[in-house]
Structure 1
Amino acid sequence: MNHSGAGSDDIRAVEITKDRNGIGLVVLRNHRGASARVSLHGGQLLSWKWERGEELLFTSSKAIISPLKPLRGGIAICFPQFRNRGSLEHHGFARNKMWVIEQDPPPLPTDSGEKAHIDLLLKPTEDDLKIWPHSFELRLRVSLGGNGYLTLISRVRNVNSKPFSFSFAYHTYYSVSDISEVRVEGLETLDYLDNLHNQERFTEQGDALTFESEVDRVYLDSGSSGVAVLDHEKKQTIVIRKEGLPDVVVWNPWEKKSKAIMDLGDEEYKQMVCVDGAAIEKPITLKPGEEWTGRLDLSVVPST
């Protein structure tokens, strides 16, 4: 099944296919050779390539590809929680559920119609409601622009009769040449919670974050100003812009922890960094009928 729309001199296409486990897979392409792949398992982004054909997202060589387990890599949707709390699984259950393609989603106020896109929907099952007794609709639009830029827009609607609260993150693994050559800019002067020090609060002192050991932090209230992941060796910069997502999670497990993670290669921490747009510190509360929107815009630019 192909959806495609033609502009004056280009074609943007959406292909719906299946992976080797028979799980639905959506491939977005633009006329310049950029592409993105989205799995219906978890609504997870598995791949984002820009027009040079280079993969921008990291997936572990030891990732377990199974309908029963979230995949280590890509961009995972963490909802309704990010941290371990109560009986819910770590990072929430949305990334381990089967989503459906929504044919007639309610319109987005920011929709320009200029991009190849797919709309996915997740609603709770009876079993989900036993674990987390709140009725919701979680929509995800994944768009690939003509310039190869990737946009993810999530909308959570409360269809419950009472308010509920949740946290949310786009848990994003970027592929890097060598973690020791990477800088993350745009976090200077922000407060952060350090998960390696019992979530104690610190203030970022450096003009850029560099990596020499394990990092596991939640930077707070970063606003909508951009965060940039500079890869010196690849000579490229990924620019992260976001709306509705005040926090930024930065994570690299480094050597010791990598060896303890079953679905991550011992040395693979060198080829990845997680920089997530998130809403964690202050959970979002929705009254009945209310909707929240979180948006992530990712672009890649050559850099020196």
Structure 2
Amino acid sequence: MGSAKEYYFDDLGIDQHWVSKTFFTCPECGTDVHQEVEVPEPDYTAEKSRDMVTGGQVEIQCDGCGSVFEGDAWAGPAHCDIELIKYPETHISCDPPGYDRPPEDWYDESEVPDDPFSIFKSNHDELLLLIDTQAKGDGSSLLNRMIFAQILTFLEAYFCDTLITGLREHPMRLAQFAAKDGSIKQTEIKASDVLSDPDHVRKLIEHNLKSRLYHQFGSGKTDKNGKSMPEGVALWYSIAFGFALAPKDDDLEALRRYAALRHDCVHRNGVTKSDEKLTLFDKNFLQEALATANRIVNHVDDKIIKLKDRTNESIL
């Protein structure tokens, strides 16, 4: 485990800030709060996963009433738990901890990169090297499961950043998206906020988009004509840009399968609901999952470029 930790932290030069995406209902005002919270870094020097869990204190501020809640946090490689000190009965849903920028930069304009494609490609190359040099032959190993989960994490980041940057570059599409997206079109906006900040609406929409779960790819349901019904990320991209998320149905189905497997990896320590130990994460599986993610990213980037070209042609 030490070699993997050195690879991520030393070779990649990553400044370590561990966060968990959380959701809870404010116990004081009833507002639904989606927020990234800085949590303790798991101890990857431990030999057993149960010994990697670390504890610490966190603060969470309600977006509605502004109340600040102190809590105790426990973070492991595949799970995170937070309990509010004054309201221990409040349930907080936490994603497994992962890297992010310092908390003061989360809502900065610089948070969304200008070129999500190149960032994914760089991460792709690093992961490919990691699979080749450090992945275990045992398809049930913790390291292999972590690599698999990281493939999905980098893909989620690409989907989020590309959706936001694409809508920034096409204001009319942003307006159309706001009119069609169920979550955004029902958002109440104060006139005073718009008058005090002309970018308030855009920032509000982007904050909404950043809080979404980008491993939701739908159930594969079809309409009465047998046509696939886009849900989750596929639906958001269809509304925003008018193209399919994946180049073929098999790739989208693979994403759904990967999302379910990722859930078992990070929430059940590699065990299914039926108590079956997952052993499929060997090198070949990891390479195929990474290749599928890369193929989808290439497809999306190609569509985004064509969208830009058509816009430039209409301007000329």
TM-score by length of 1: 0.31
Query: By percentage of residues, which structure has more strand?
Result: 1
Asked which structure has the greater CA Rg, the reply is: 2
Query: By percentage of residues, which structure has more helix?
Result: 2
TM-score by length of 2: 0.30
